[in-house]
Structure 1
Amino acid sequence: MKKKKAYTFRKFMTDVHLWLGLASGIILFLVCFSGTMLVFEKEIESIFAEELRVVPSSEKLSIDELTSRMSEKGTVSSVSIPTEAFEAYEFRVKTSPKDRRGTTFMMDPYSAEILKPEPSPLNGFFSVMFRMHRWLLLDTSIGRPIVGVATIIFLFLSISGIIIWFPKKWKWKAFKPGFKIKWSANWKRINHDLHNTLGFYSCIFLVIMILTGLCWSFEWYREAGSQVLGTKIFGGRGGPGITSEEPGSEIISLSEAYTISNSELTYAGKTNISIPQEETNVFEIRKYDDNNWSPSTPDLLVLDRNGSVVKKELFDEKDLNVQVASLIKPLHTGEIFGTLSNIIYFLACLIATSLPVTGTMIWLNKLKKKKHR
């Protein structure tokens, strides 16, 4: 009589990996597929949308004059000034009391012509992909926790998958097959290698996406992350929260504020100026260094109404925990290093989309093998 094999830790992790994967496979497929589509959203839309370029003439009109022209559309809350001469200025305008976030308008800085880009035919597609990625196209209160729970399961799948990937014998001969795909084998072996090997290579990037993505799903997770980092995650969304030391005093012009920002932040880069709307508000200026290691790390300059510097915050001089907290979104979306990280994240998301499919096929092949026996 054969002895029954002991139920080992490895066998336990294999079962956990299998049943959690089967239970969450469809949801993870949809979330990962939509995430893959969203990685290059801006780049793809720019291909199909009309390119808004201006023809440089003699001199640009002043920011104040451009803002005055744009104010005909509503209340101008901010202006973005690009580096290149052929790029249009971007204005955020509240066209009505219901328009809380404001509407984006582009303007030719040489002629003050308001440019109206044709809507991209892919706007609707990416809107669907975004809602699928965040809420599975369901109501927010229902879809968000479902995606959050599936994301937690994906974390366990990633950890258990790495444990299973390690061979029983720790010798190079046993490790070697896990690093490559044997294309000359039959389709079952190729499918297994696609799941095993590609899952291993993408795991570190998937874990980063998982740990950062949970910040949008659960408030308790976001608060716990803030406690661990020692600083508020998403705490800078409302700006630095500084009020004027001389409320109601005479305010400098936008041109003067822009000149001061260039004297304080001497590098070339896109500048975004938030315009004071109330007597207690100040100028909040964020500038992105064209030559910085990341396109998602602006420096902050806060000017009082009279032009005095209230706060100057360089990203590279922030504490490490504050830098990490402010990079949660670009770490999740892949924007942190620009095109390079976008390509890596696209491939990782593509692999993640395939894992539920290849994993299910492995399980079905094993079922057929057992029935055959």
Structure 2
Amino acid sequence: MSQSTSSWKSIRNIFNQIHLYAGLICGLIVVAVCLSGTIYVYNTEIREYFDSELFFVEANGERMAVEDIRLKLEQDLGKSVTQVMWMEDPERSAQFTLIGADEEGRGTTYYVNPYSGEILGDNSTRTGAQEFMSSMFSLHRWLLLDRVEEPILESMGNRDLGRFINGISTSLFLLGVLTGILIWFPNKVKNWKQGLKVKWGANWKRVNHDLHNTLAFYSLTALFIMSATGLFWSFNWYREGWQKTWDTYQTEAEKEAEQNKPEPVFTNPQTFTLDQILAATESELGYVGNTRISIPADPTKMIEVRQYKTNLTASPGSDNLSLSPENLSVVESSLFGDLSVRQQIGRSVKYLHTGEIFGQVSKFIWFLACLIATSLPITGTLIWWNKRKKGTRSKKQKASKASNLEMA
């Protein structure tokens, strides 16, 4: 045996031990986090399916003018519209946020049939689907510790504790992914075909072993991105490092300067309909999408618009416009496509983590990868347990042979 081969076996054994104990320590937490994450990938779809009466309508002729719906709601409810979400899909409801003169906060969002102006419901009460998905989010982010009323530790709140435990477990999972790569590739590169399939005809131990190795390999890229981005919400130092790496970091002074930046003063504001604002937005951006219009309480302030592309592989990043209240010209614009590649990555951390970065295509891939991630601690623990039992039997057999020799 060459010295290099012997050295690699020693190094590989170290990686094996790291891989094993990292998986054993974080196993239960990873199962909980990944299972809830698997479900939460389709958070929007699940809520819309079970509360379909709020989100979907039957297309019947032409949709009403957006401004007509606004006027109808303001007259019926005695409140003012502050925000509108107008969907490109003609079979989707519109969302209007209204607030009364004596109300505080963000107001109430109403789901409205765009063909009749009928209110389908509002967000003042939570549905069963919303409650369930909220629990999945809590489990995924804070391990449900944010729902424990009594503080568990004096040194930190329950939410921070859940975030910390989650962060440590995610770090160990990421370590397991990296060591798994180092273990798999040198071992399988010569016989790579064997490492890419499951031998279904073998005994259950071999099948379990193949499932762990093969499924992990196929989901490797997604698992790395999931775990590497998941740490963004656990550790402040990691979040800051991420932002500096991808050129999206702002110092406190820069944030304060941006918040206190004086807005342009418009002395001759005009009255524009929501349809005119929508048309101006689509003309400027050159595409039709889902559009969110924010209407300022002060008519001399800029009108803020966000528009999202809706094709199958569209990035969830929005194109933002600030329009003049005098003539709807663009005063400021922040287009996702104008950002550098680094900044696009940096600002897409949430969508990289959830798999929404390339629309429904990447979401489905992330769903499968997250399901695999849920299984890895289970199959990995079974591999360890089977090897442990095999080692115990081997020791007993050696001890029995030694005893027989002594008796002979």
Normalised by the length of structure 1, the TM-score is: 0.87
More moved, 96-105 vs 154-163: 96-105
Alpha-carbon distance in structure 2 between the residues aligned to 1:107 and 1:22: 50
- Correspondence for 2:226: 209
**Aligned positions of 1:43-192 closer than 5 A:** 43-51=45-53, 52-57=56-61, 60-63=64-67, 65-71=68-74, 72=77, 74-94=79-99, 100-116=105-121, 120-139=127-146, 140-168=159-187, 172-173=190-191, 175-192=192-209
Secondary structure (helix, strand or coil) at the match of 1:172 reads coil
Q: Which structure 2 residues correspond to residues 178-257 of structure 1 after superposition, within 5 A?
A: 178-232=195-249, 244-246=263-265, 249-253=268-272, 254-257=274-277
Summarize the alignment of residues 310-321 of structure 1 with structure 2, pairs less than 5 Å apart. Answer: 310-321=331-342
Gap regions ≥5 residues in structure 1:
none
SS at match of 1:166: helix
| Structure with a larger share of its residues in helix | 2
Show the counterpart of 2:281: 261
Cα shift at 1:144:
0.7
Summarize the Cα distance change of 1:196–1:57 in structure 2 as closer, same or farther, 3 Å threshold.
closer
Tell me: CA distance 1:31–1:246, structure 2 relative to 1, closer, same or farther (3 Å). Answer: same
1:300 aligns to what SS in structure 2? strand
Alpha-carbon distance in 1 for matches of 2:102, 2:16:
56
Whether the 8 Å CA contact 1:248–1:279 is kept in 2: the answer is no
Q: What per-residue deviation string (whole Å, max 9, x for no partner) do you get for residues 128-172 of structure 1?
A: 11100000000312101111111111110100011111244x763
In structure 2, stretches of 5+ residues that fail to align are 1-5, 147-158, 395-408
Identity of counterpart residues, as a percentage?
40
Contact 1:54 1:88 in 2 (8 A): no
CA distance in 1, matches of 2:28, 2:63: 57
The 1:73/1:214 distance shift into structure 2, 3 A limit, reads farther
Give 3-state SS (helix, strand or coil) of 1:311's partner: strand
Contact 2:197 2:214 in 1 (8 A): yes
1:13 equivalent in alignment to 2:34: no
- State the 1:303 CA deviation: 0.7
Number of the residue aligned with 1:369: 390
Q: Which has the larger radius of gyration?
A: 2
- Per-residue CA deviation, residues 64-105 of structure 1 (Å, 9 max, x unaligned), is x43344343645331011223343221233569886454321
Post-superposition CA distance 1:327-372 (Å, at most 9, x none) = 1111111112222111111110010000010111111111111111
Please say if residues 306 and 320 of structure 2, whose CA atoms lie closer than 8 Å, have aligned partners that are also in contact: yes
Whether the 8 Å contact between 1:286 and 1:298 is mirrored in structure 2 is yes
Amino acid at match of 2:281: S
Partner SS for 1:330: helix
1:346 aligns with 2:364: no
Q: How many aligned residue pairs are there?
A: 363
